[in-house]
Amino acid sequence: MTLRPTDRPLAARRDAPAGDRRELTDGCDDRSDRDSAGKRSQSGAGGGVDPVEDAAPTDPSVPGADRFVAAVAVDGEVLFAGPSVPAVLGVERASLVGEDLLEHVHPNDRDPVADALSAVATDRVVTHRLRHANGGFVWVESVVDDELAPEFGGRVVTARRVDSEAAFPERFREFLEYGSDLVTVVDADGRVRYESPSVEEVLGYEQGSTVGRSPLGYVHPDDRERVTERFYRALNDPDETPTMEYRYRTAEGDWVWLESRTRSLPADAAVGRLLINSRDVSERKARERRLTDRNARLDRFASIVSHDLRNPLSVIRGSIEMAKLKDDTEPLERGERAADRIDQLVSELLTLARQGTGIDEPTEFALGDVAREAWDTAGHADARLVVGADAQVRGDRGRLRQAFENLFRNATEHAVPDGEKGIRPGDGSGDPRLTDGGEDAVLTVVVTATDEGFLVADDGPGIPSTHREEVFAPGFTTREDGTGYGLDIVREVVESHGWTIGLRGESAAPPCPEEVPVPDGACFVVRGPDPDAAETGEPWIDR
């Protein structure tokens, strides 16, 4: 370390007359340095005062016992230690004099301390750790005088103990401010002592607003017992370093999934007892839920393949055997019907298998256009489609068409004799709102926008109250030749858009923006956000 010309050699400093030295104090009562007569003890031939040899420890309860003053050479040698050193560091003043101050500084903090003592330092205020007599470290803020003290040939250093807020070195503050992870420190009572600035971005709370409170009060009730048990285990056992995933309440009252890693701090750490590093893993949990849903569907498919397909296959085998035995083709007709059912099952199962839980590339389109396209392939010659108020939709056009097709088939199969047959495209009414069937239609199906989304209703017999809770259940059907997966497909398509679907009666059908009569039969109500309420890029329904 380079010395300035004004820096005198250590020997010259020590050989200077004692009377030329300046007595430094810590701002504490220094009566411990006086004898019973109230005079300072004399030592040395010159009768000067030795500020080191006769120093006695200061009572830490006196004012100023949270700081001490020292004179330190630019090479780090301690030339003088003030009376409050024992109160702050737990060591005698004399044991510190002549030592290299940097040897008492935490290894991670030595560079900034050395820089502050140097001749060319630009910043002479540094927050760092100093070793305590108990073997731990205490956090202090040291202020180094710019000019050398002539009496000592070194700089005067004032070291003050700091609280948890100032215990994080300045060079780490930028990391804490801009880091995406949330850093939390709790004390021995389990209350927050510090939270990094990222608490505002992750949870929406103003930094410092949760200090003094227990973080457990913000944990979701379903997760609280589990988290509490592991939290206090880590608080009481330094060897415990649990990693937990749980839901945490935000400032807006929502819930986010946090993954927290907990580590114990040293017993004498000034900042607190536990350091908790947390990150928002809500997106990962959503992916896990989607994967779980897909696995559940695969399990369901395996069950269907082993059960639902087994019966028609048995019919086909029996029909073939009977035809061979009787040399008659009539039994084969039963086998043909069974094969048709297998084909329908396979088609719907493939549709379900290919359904995802999100929309990859949503586009914008008119609701009425998609409904008419679906009617062309799933409508009935004895039924008519009425398209009422239209809406602009952002979503997956192909999958929404699948949903309409299954809703239309559900209506015709339950309201039109031989509803599974007689499908034909076309418009026989001349009314731009009508498709097929005309005024003589046996069944009318209405598709219209509402104030909250849209609905699909028919004037058929409706859904019995005993079946209302089961209509969307996989495999549920009231027809002998039904698969029970049509409305399950509808539900998955709607929910993949982030919308909801239910029956009128669970909550009354929302009012329609046009005077379109809504039939009294089955009525499926879809609700979704408008463009202003939807998240950026997410599906919406613009009424």
Q: What digits encode the pLDDT tens for the residues 363-398? A: 999 999 999 988 987 788 888 999 999 999 999 888
Examine the pLDDT at 486 and tell me if it is beyond 90.
Answer: no
In angstroms, the CA 3 to CA 479 distance is 98
Contact 190, 232 (CB under 8 A): yes
Same domain (yes/no): 87, 153: yes
Examine the pLDDT at 63 and tell me if it is beyond 60.
Answer: no
Is the C-alpha dihedral spanning 224, 225, 230, 231 positive or negative? Answer: positive
For residue 225 the two structure tokens come to 């017992």
Examine the pLDDT at 211 and tell me if it is beyond 90.
Answer: no
pLDDT confidence of residue 454: 94
Structural domain range at position 538: 358-415+441-542
Q: Which range has the top average pLDDT, 160-164, 273-277, 339-343?
A: 273-277
Same domain (yes/no): 106, 197: no
427 located within any domain:
no
Same domain (yes/no): 186, 298: no
pLDDT band of 47, cuts 50, 70, 90: very low
What's the average model confidence in pLDDT over 409-426?
A: 58
**Which CATH number does the domain housing residue 459 bear?**
3.30.565.10
More confident residue, 420 or 453: 453
Phi, psi of 361 (to 5 degrees): -135, 80
pLDDT confidence of residue 75: 87
pLDDT confidence of residue 319: 75
Name the residue among 483, 494, 320, 317 with its Cα closest to residue 393.
494
Q: What digits encode the pLDDT tens for the residues 343-362? A: 666 666 666 555 554 566 78
pLDDT confidence of residue 29: 43
pLDDT confidence of residue 518: 84
User: What number of CA atoms fall less than 13 Å from residue 387's CA on the CB side?
Assistant: 20
275 located within any domain:
yes
In angstroms, the CA 183 to CA 204 distance is 14
pLDDT band of 428, cuts 50, 70, 90: very low
Percent share of the chain, pLDDT over 70: 65
Same domain (yes/no): 275, 316: no
pLDDT band of 230, cuts 50, 70, 90: very high
Percent share of the chain, pLDDT over 90: 24
Examine the pLDDT at 87 and tell me if it is beyond 60.
Answer: yes
pLDDT confidence of residue 475: 53
**Which CATH number does the domain housing residue 315 bear?**
1.10.287
99 located within any domain:
yes
Same domain (yes/no): 192, 335: no
For residue 151 the two structure tokens come to 């009496």
Bridge partners of residue 526, in order along the sequence: 454, 501
**Which CATH number does the domain housing residue 115 bear?**
3.30.450.20
pLDDT confidence of residue 256: 93
261 located within any domain:
yes
Q: Which range has the top average pLDDT, 54-58, 440-444, 445-449?
A: 445-449
Examine the pLDDT at 405 and tell me if it is beyond 60.
Answer: yes
pLDDT band of 297, cuts 50, 70, 90: low
* Residue with tokens 């069937």, as numbered in its chain: 437
Domain boundary among 281, 303, 335: 281
Q: Which range has the top average pLDDT, 44-58, 156-170, 267-281, 288-302?
A: 267-281
Domain boundary among 105, 133, 161: 161
Same domain (yes/no): 194, 330: no
Q: Which range has the top average pLDDT, 91-100, 109-118, 147-156, 532-541?
A: 91-100
Q: Which range has the top average pLDDT, 131-135, 294-298, 440-444, 499-503?
A: 499-503
Phi, psi of 175 (to 5 degrees): -60, -45
Contact 374, 411 (CB under 8 A): no
Pairing between β-strand 383-387 and β-strand 443-449 as defined by DSSP bridges: parallel
- Give the chain's radius of gyration (CA, Å): 41
In angstroms, the CA 248 to CA 285 distance is 13
Contacts for 129 with CB less than 8 Å, ≥ 6 apart: 105, 106, 108, 109, 137, 138, 139, 140
Helix axes 310-326, 282-307, angle to 10 degrees: 20
Lowest mean pLDDT among 19-23, 170-174, 253-257, 309-313: 19-23
Contact 240, 248 (CB under 8 A): no
362 located within any domain:
yes
Same domain (yes/no): 484, 365: yes
Lowest mean pLDDT among 37-41, 247-251, 469-473: 37-41
| E strand spans, 442-537 | 443-449, 453-458, 500-503, 523-527
Same domain (yes/no): 475, 511: yes
pLDDT confidence of residue 226: 94
What's the average model confidence in pLDDT over 410-415?
A: 78
Name the residue among 79, 57, 59 with its Cα closest to residue 70.
79
Q: How many domains, the chain?
A: 4
Helix ranges restricted to H, 97-220: 110-117, 170-178, 199-202
Contact 79, 153 (CB under 8 A): yes
Domain boundary among 161, 179, 196: 161
In angstroms, the CA 329 to CA 324 distance is 9
B/e letters for 186-212, b = 16+ CB within 10 Å, e = fewer, are bbeebbbbbbbbbbeebbebeeeebee
Examine the pLDDT at 423 and tell me if it is beyond 70.
Answer: no
pLDDT, mean over the chain: 75
Same domain (yes/no): 139, 194: no
Same domain (yes/no): 501, 391: yes
Same domain (yes/no): 267, 305: no
pLDDT confidence of residue 34: 37
217 located within any domain:
yes
Lowest mean pLDDT among 63-72, 203-212, 215-224: 63-72
Strands laid side by side in the 125-131 sheet: 78-81, 67-72, 155-161, 137-144, 125-131
For residue 102 the two structure tokens come to 């940097």
Examine the pLDDT at 33 and tell me if it is beyond 60.
Answer: no
Find the Cα–Cα–Cα–Cα dihedral 44, 48, 49, 53, rounded to 10°: -20
pLDDT confidence of residue 279: 92
Same domain (yes/no): 377, 338: no
What's the average model confidence in pLDDT over 228-254?
A: 91
B/e letters for 235-265, b = 16+ CB within 10 Å, e = fewer, are beeeebeeebebbbbeeeeebbbbbbebebb
In angstroms, the CA 7 to CA 56 distance is 30
316 located within any domain:
yes
182 located within any domain:
yes
In angstroms, the CA 517 to CA 447 distance is 11
